[in-house]
Chains A and B, each alone.
Chain A
Amino acid sequence: MSQETGCSEYQSLSRRKFLVRSAQVTALAATLPAWVPKVAFADSGPARDVLISVYLRGGCDGLTLVAPYADDHYYTHRPNLAVPRPDSNSQYKATDLDGFFGLPPTMLPLLPIYQAGELVVVHACGLEEATRSHFDAQRFTEVGKANDSRLATGWLGRHLASIQPMRADALIRGVGVDFGMPKVLQGGPRTLPIPDPSWFTLWGDWQSYEDRKRYIDGTYRAQTDPIRTSAINTLQTMQVLSNIDFDHYQPAGGAQYPDTGFGKSMQSAAALIRADIGVEAIHVDIHGWDTHSEQGSVDGQLRDLMADLSGGLRAIHQDLNGANRRDWTLIAMSEFGRNAIENGSRGTDHGFGNCMFAMGAQIAGGQVIRNWPGLHEDQLVAGMDLGITIDYRDVIAEIVDKRLGNGQGLAQVFPGFVPQYRGVVRA
């Protein structure tokens, strides 16, 4: 078992002996474990980034996450919920980003990444189709097109489907860190929902392990899609992941993931990237942003949600950087923003324009990209919402083109949409 220490990045990981045996029994070339040196893999085409896609389910309040403190009307509309100005005496005051926007206290873990130029905020951004339904807005943004019933797959799935695998021998290319397949990844080849990679092995009696696997393989191969492909992908991915000891994963760079579902998912994402098995798209959901009541700016529901989000993003940034991985880009977005005008329950209702985030070594960070429409009541959409001056697809398309190497596939990723690049990626 001399390969056990083959890859320096994975010295801390040890394998389970029984899985080694099972891998030997099947002796598939496809089961090359994670510690085989990189040179053993065939790269197909120029280097490109792994994409980590984070979705804030419920419609996050972008006016708190990245607060436009220099727009006076912010404080008019948000008497109870606004983040105090950076020059105020409040212990909960915003920390300035660029003279106009500021981060509330529990978003501060992101500040060093912003200052290091690896985190960009895009504001007054989003889905231009006016819907205030979570489920429509999520579907439209994940499909990448609104109101098109012929298009049922997700933009990230179609990205994977319209480009050669990053590594020709990759058995698993897309992962939804979830119990089912998120819409955004649907249609992706070699893509599976994997809620926790450390579980990804066949449980039960070991004497019959190979027999059960063979039965599953044989019976599902006689099926049609999608269940056939799902089973084949699962069996192959099992071979890859069960050779990696995720239970003893060691974050690099001193990263400490939040002890939450999201923190755990971000750690799983990092582990999948560092395992170097050819995964090139990972999607993670973070729930709970539908803050109709008691959202707070500094002391309500949003406090913990933002701490979870920023803590998770900070940890994965430290972890991957600490492991000398610079070949990844992360985006974080939500289905819509919330009303600029707070409601009577110290919360906010479903709105329109929002902020989104992109993070990575090649991201043109340290700025808040926007064409600010203003918060004066005459400037609000429907009298209550931040407008949208940047389509969310502008941001994603630029990354798909410049970081994921799929400029040619954009017509499939976002059919019928002509993006306008906003300088999210370094020139």
Chain B
Amino acid sequence: MCALSLKGLTDGYMNAVEKAENLDASVSRRALFSAGALASALMVSESASAQEADIQSGGGNPWRSVENRLVRRITMGITQEDAATAKRLGFSAYLEQQLNHTRIDDSVCERYVASRYPAVNASIAQLDNMDSWRVWQQLGAATVYRSVFSKRQLYQRMVEFWTDHFNIDIDKVGPALKVVDDREVIRKYALDTFPKLLRASAKSTAMLYFLDNTNSYVGHPNINYARELEELHTMGVNGGYTPRDIREVARCFTGWMMEWDKNSPNYGNFVFNEWAHDFDEKTVLGHRIPAGRGIQDGEQVLEILLNHPSTAKFIARKMARWLLMYEPSESLVNSVAGVFTRSRGDIKAMIRAILTRTNVSRQPAKLKRPYHFAVSALRSLKPTVRSLEQLHDWRLYVLGQRPFNWSPPDGYPDNVEFWVGALLPRWNFAGSLMNDEVDGVQVNVRTLFSGLRTATQVVEKINQMLFGGEMPTNEKATLTTYLGARATDPVRQRAAIAMALSGPGFQCY
């Protein structure tokens, strides 16, 4: 049902071992048939190439409604209301509604965030006077709150995407600088254009500090930012730059620093320090950067990188992977890269090119990452939220994906192979949530199931809330059996939701 296969874990070694260990060698085939009740159930393939072909042909997606598939792709988790809205508006109108995020009134969410988590709207000077642990907690909790309650769901998904793309480890830079980066870079341009994002990120003190550019002086350029700017932010590792290009880019960015002087009105913000800049001539990717200029050197490098065809392809592939499928076809990548080039990096235009009705109707399922999983549970169940601190500080830590906590510069992985082994933390989140152990978050079972009498009714309600009406048949049947004649018992009802959240269907989108 949930065709989360990948080369690495389905290659011949696993089969050899299963035989060696005397396991039932036919299990995978039996599984295929037992899941066959779902029209789109996957095919198990033995070889990597066959698997890819299978993914390309769109096998392995349990979700039939193309509108629901779109909802799953552009939200942090489908809800009954999302499914209804998408059905009412239709595919294109729903996508357009989410793309035009500024026209969606999100004032309720933002008012709550502003009053509850003031740190996210504070200036760097104010943040500097706040307890940094509280700043950290407010930024994290506000991030979760927005993911769950914002009506601008596609926007939140893209905030998550760019947060990973321009990853900054909060443990290295401290929460104050990341608050500013989150607000003035990531959230400001998440659905705007890639050039604006990149230019803002290059002047983000959090980024410059994270990648040591605040330590880069004429004669002693630090190449850390220059390398990741090319490898991770724009061209990709095989994008065609050389070690010499990295050194030259580093020279261009000497002097791009942070104002450390507490008495300066610019304290904590970006500053170009002429005294630290290398004014000699440089050559970057064949382009001559003339001597004698200043901040224009780095700015010109950004334009060179933005205009490089490798950047268009790298961003196109990564966005298609995020929004559509793990291994997008070359033709899709090329066409989205074309949109990138023609639209000068317009993110919305790229999303439209990726999320066509045809593409979405052929997409295979993806595995939710742990953050997505936890947020989607909350979105579906609409719990009473009094505080998100424990959820953020502890629960997301245990799940392995607390925001801003990935220490290398590449961001949390968007793949199956890293995450698929970590199922227990998800089952435990479900169990804890439904046992009222997640502090400040209470799922109101009596309200959710009010008036429902039979197991079938309760399971159907779960189906609508958690699965947009497409709960896998076997999970539905198993849950109905479990509830049996005790469908009104709140203990069973809670356990039933925990089960539904733990099951394989809820792990994919």
Contact = CB atoms under 8 A, between A and B. Distances in A.
Verify that A and B bind, or say they do not. yes
Given A208-B492, A229-B14, A343-B222, A216 B503 contact: yes
Contact of B14 (A179, A187, A195): A187
Nearest to A219: B503
Interface in B16-47: 16-18, 20-21, 27-28, 31-32, 34-35, 42, 44
A343 B13 contact: no
A221 B401 CA distance: 26
B217 A224 contact: no
Q: Do most interface residues of chain B lie in helix, strand or loop, or is the interface mixed?
A: helix
Contacts of A133: 227, 231, 237
Contact of A345 (B216, B408, B427): B216
Q: Do most interface residues of chain A lie in helix, strand or loop, or is the interface mixed?
A: loop
B236 to A, nearest CB: 10
Contact of B502 (A200, A215, A225): A215
B399 interface: yes
A215 B14 contact: no
Contacts of A164: 20
B495 A343 contact: no
Nearest to B36: A222
B34 A222 contact: yes
Interface in B375-422: 398-401, 407-408, 410, 413, 416-422
A212 B498 contact: yes
B258 interface: no
Contacts of B422: 179-181, 192-193
Which size bracket describes the interface of A in this complex? 35 or more
Contact of A132 (B217, B227, B499): B227
A215 B478 contact: yes
Contacts of A292: 211-212, 215, 222-224
A212 B428 CA distance: 11
B445 interface: no
Contact of A382 (B227, B243, B428): B243
A189 B21 contact: yes
A231 B498 contact: no
Interface in A245-275: none
B491 A208 contact: yes
A153 to B, nearest CB: 5
A200 B424 contact: yes
Contacts of A181: 417-422
Interface string A36-53: 000000000000000000
Given A208-B495, A216-B499, A221-B31, A234 B423 contact: yes
Contacts of B44: 224-225
A156 B435 CA distance: 39
Contact of A135 (B17, B237, B425, B435): B237
A208 B490 CA distance: 12
Contact of B407 (A211, A216, A288): A288
Contacts of A99: none
Contacts of B491: 205, 207-208
Contacts of A180: 400, 413, 418-419, 421-422
Contacts of A131: 237
Interface-centre pick from A57, A192, A215 (highest chain B CB count, 10 A): A215
B478 A219 contact: yes
Given A161-B16, A223-B2, A224-B28, A344 B434 contact: no
Nearest to B49: A150
Nearest to A382: B243
A38 to B, nearest CB: 21
Contact of B432 (A132, A203, A223): A203
A344 B18 CA distance: 54
B430 interface: yes
B221 A193 contact: no
Interface in B209-233: 211-212, 215-217, 219-224, 227, 231
Given A153-B11, A192-B421, A226 B478 contact: no
Interface of A: 57-58, 131-136, 150, 152-153, 157-158, 160-162, 164-165, 176, 178-181, 183, 186-187, 189, 191-193, 195, 199-200, 202-205, 207-208, 211-212, 215-216, 218-231, 233-234, 238, 287-288, 290, 292-294, 343-345, 347, 349-350, 382, 412
10 contacts: A135-B408, A180-B422, A202-B431, A205-B494, A208-B498, A223-B31, A224-B35, A225-B44, A292-B224, A345-B216
